[in-house]
Amino acid sequence: MEIEVKGHSGCSINIMRQGKDLYILKGTKDVKYIERLYRQAVKQEKAAKRKYQFIRIPSILDIKKTDSEMIMQMEYIYAKNFIDYFENAGFEQVDYFIKAIDIFLNSEINNSELQRISSDVVKDKFFDVKHKIESNIMLNNDSIIKDIIKQSEIIFGNIPDNLYIPIGECHGDLTFSNILFNGNNYYLIDFLDSFIESPLLDMVKLRQDTCFKWSVLMYTGHFDVTRFDITCAKIDAELDHMFSSHEWYRDYYHPFQLMNFLRVLQYAHEPKVICYLKKVLINILSDE
């Protein structure tokens, strides 16, 4: 049996059955994406070998890569998505989730090393993103976006020559969409390589949802918006308080969150998404 699931990355995602067992096949024939999907699969395969309290990583059962195709076979997890989970979760369950995320990120931090990163790494990434935004026909004539880019250029031009942040472990795309909820166990999927492998990037990605609710934009079903907003506000406040114990988070969260949403903007084509991103970026810039 095979069931096709729509994915957002351009990959094909299929649920396969062999006897009584289900598993996921994720693949691509896009030559531009093959190497990146391969790196994602290897990254998740490595992470699945580590043990975390409350956090689980689905096993990668097989990886097949050729010059024309990449396919990964992954353990199937019976779980809820973030909307369905938080729709019925009480504060005790929300507290478990916060604790699990805190334990996971502390493990990443403990397995990383505080290192000096040249500001050129961040500046070069910004100018690459800036070029892609200016090449996007949906964005290049928007006066608000031009102003956002102008303000952002000043911010990245003024960052310190050397940034001290932890380098080592990082999920890379730790949003609600990439967390599966099963009771008090939370499964992380769709690991992603990042231009800097740092727990700071996972903190940024989490708050992309807890503070700015990015993943909700991709959700088409009905749910209790007020309840979800209250839950997100609680999670965001507690995570921000925990993260703020680290000087490097206090120093660099805002520019890295700015970079994060600019990287999302570069690929935006839907008017609803572009409108949302402009509001978020203006919000972030106003806090700088």
Is residue 27 located within the same domain as residue 92? Answer: no
Q: What is the pTM of this model?
A: 0.92
End of a domain among 26, 57, 75? 75
Confidence of residue 218 (pLDDT cuts 50, 70, 90): confident
**CATH code: domain of residue 8:** 3.30.200.20
Task: Report pLDDT digits (tens) over 2-51.
Answer: 333 344 456 889 999 888 889 999 999 999 899 999 999 999 999 999 88
Is residue 23 located within the same domain as residue 69? Answer: yes
pLDDT of amino acid 5: 36
Total domains present in the chain: 2
Is residue 191 located within the same domain as residue 239? Answer: yes
Is residue 132 located within the same domain as residue 37? Answer: no
- Lowest-pLDDT range of 11-15, 206-210, 279-283: 11-15
**CATH code: domain of residue 237:** 3.90.1200.10
Is residue 165 located within the same domain as residue 224? Answer: yes
pLDDT of amino acid 10: 66
Domain that holds residue 58: 2-75
Is residue 196 located within the same domain as residue 243? Answer: yes
Is residue 69 located within the same domain as residue 47? Answer: yes
Is residue 161 located within the same domain as residue 233? Answer: yes
Is residue 53 located within the same domain as residue 192? Answer: no
Is residue 86 located within the same domain as residue 67? Answer: no
pLDDT of amino acid 288: 66
| Matching residue, tokens 């806090």 | 287
End of a domain among 59, 75, 91? 75
End of a domain among 75, 110, 135? 75
